[in-house]
Amino acid sequence: MGLLIVGSIGLDDIETPFDKVQNALGGSTTYISLAASYFTGPIEIVGIVGDDFPKEHMKMLEDHNVDLEGLEIVEGAKTFRYGCKYHYDLNVRDSLYTHLNVFEKFNPQLPDKSKKSSYIILGNIAPKLQLSVLDQLQNPKFVVCDTMNFWINGAMEDLLKVLKRVNVLIINDSEARLLSNEPNLIKAAHKISKMGPEYLIIKKGEHGALLFGAETVFSAPAYPMENIFDPTGAGDAFAGGFTGYLHKNRDFSFDNLKRAVVYGSIMASFCVEKFSTKGLENLSPLEIRNRFIEFRELSSFS
Ligand code: AMP
């Protein structure tokens, strides 16, 4: 059975200190699907776009074994749009606008085959929509969830309901502090774990990621990158690599979760090397494997 992904599909305007792009392919589902597609398939997505969404993007996703049966295309409506501007420190970005457009009236309807999905990634969308997806699933076994400050600030009540029903929450360090109201990340992790998720992953941008289990912590290194062009979607690429790897081998031991975190970091590192989704569109298994070996060498010592 495929890996089910629900989230946003959109068009982004992105500005970094080096360059800018407009109308670029974006959205959480898009980055997650592409990253996961290098490990497993098919990828079933549930989402919505307007009729302004370019067909070439759909073709590119289908070429990556992404099944678009659950993609609703609304005639006469506009696709979700997001604009952001990065600071000189690329870990910091200002969201310039979030135009929900088609998302305002989105009521996710899972195709019958997707209702049977056991592995699900709830990408970054309104927690209310994440809940509606969970309600339609017959037997979810492994639910991975992402969210962001926009929803922590604006939809906390629904988000807390989602967290009670997920196995893994993936957020970044500032989101962890905001969600827990706690500046220290370790204390923040303890507080968030009590909200429901069995595992918590806190991404720290270019400084790696922390995986928290019941009584264990794993600190994954970050890949030392010389050329970061566009950090947009790095978190989603992480979620796609992490879950895609687990979906392929179905091993949920802590050691394998650690490897999955490294594969998540690898996909994030490819993502930021190019603008928009370009860094995830043409990878080879060998490139991914080689980066895994580099990661291993980076953090091994005696
Ligand atoms: P990330 O950089 O991992 O936070 O993901 C960036 C992607 O998330 C962009 O391509 C945006 O289109 C999408 N995005 C930004 N804000 C939201 C939001 N509030 N809800 C859903 N998707 C969003």
The vertex-107 CA angle with 103 and 113, nearest 5°, equals 120
Mean pLDDT of 202-227: 90
Mean pLDDT of 190-212: 94
Q: Is 142 helix (H, G, I), strand (E, B) or coil?
A: strand
- The residue contributing the CA closest to ligand 1 atom 1 is 233
Measured in angstroms, how far is the CA atom of residue 241 from the centroid of ligand 1?
17
pLDDT bracket for residue 184 (50, 70, 90): very high
Separation of CA 33 and ligand 1 centre (Å)? 14
CATH placement of domain 8-299: 3.40.1190.20
Determine phi and psi for 221, rounding to 5 degrees: -75, 165
SS3 (DSSP) at 29 = helix
pLDDT per position as a tens digit, 146-162: 999 989 999 999 999 99
pLDDT value at residue 298: 86
Side-chain-side CA neighbours of residue 199 (13 Å): 24
Mutate to test the pocket of ligand 1, among 12, 28, 78, 153 (most ligand atoms within 8 A of CB): 28
Give the number of the atom of ligand 1 that is nearest the alpha carbon of residue 80.
Answer: 12
How confident is the model over 209-222, as a mean pLDDT?
A: 92
* pLDDT for position 299: 82
Contact, 37 vs 4, CB < 8 A? no
List residues near ligand 1 (CB under 6 A): 8, 10, 12, 26-28, 82, 98, 124-125, 148, 150, 232-236
* Tokens coding 239: 């979620």
Distance in Å, CA 104 to ligand 1 centroid: 15
| pLDDT digits 0-9 by tens, 228-259 | 899 999 999 999 999 999 999 999 999 999 99
Residue in the structure block whose two tokens are 């005696």: 302
* pLDDT for the residue 198: 97
Cα of 299 to ligand 1 centre, how many Å? 30
Around Cβ 262, how many Cβ atoms within 10 Å?
24
Query: Ligand 1, atom 6: nearest CA belongs to which residue?
Result: 233
| pTM: predicted TM-score of the whole model, two decimal places | 0.95
Report the range of poorest mean pLDDT among 215-219, 284-288, 295-299.
295-299
How do residues 23-57 score in pLDDT, each as one tens digit?
999 999 999 999 999 999 999 999 999 999 999 99
pLDDT number for residue 91: 84
Closest CA to 165 of 186, 195, 188: 195
Percent of the chain at pLDDT > 90 equals 87
Tokens standing for residue 67: 């099944």
Of the pLDDT bands very low, low, confident and very high (cuts 50, 70, 90), residue 302 is confident
Mean pLDDT of the chain: 95
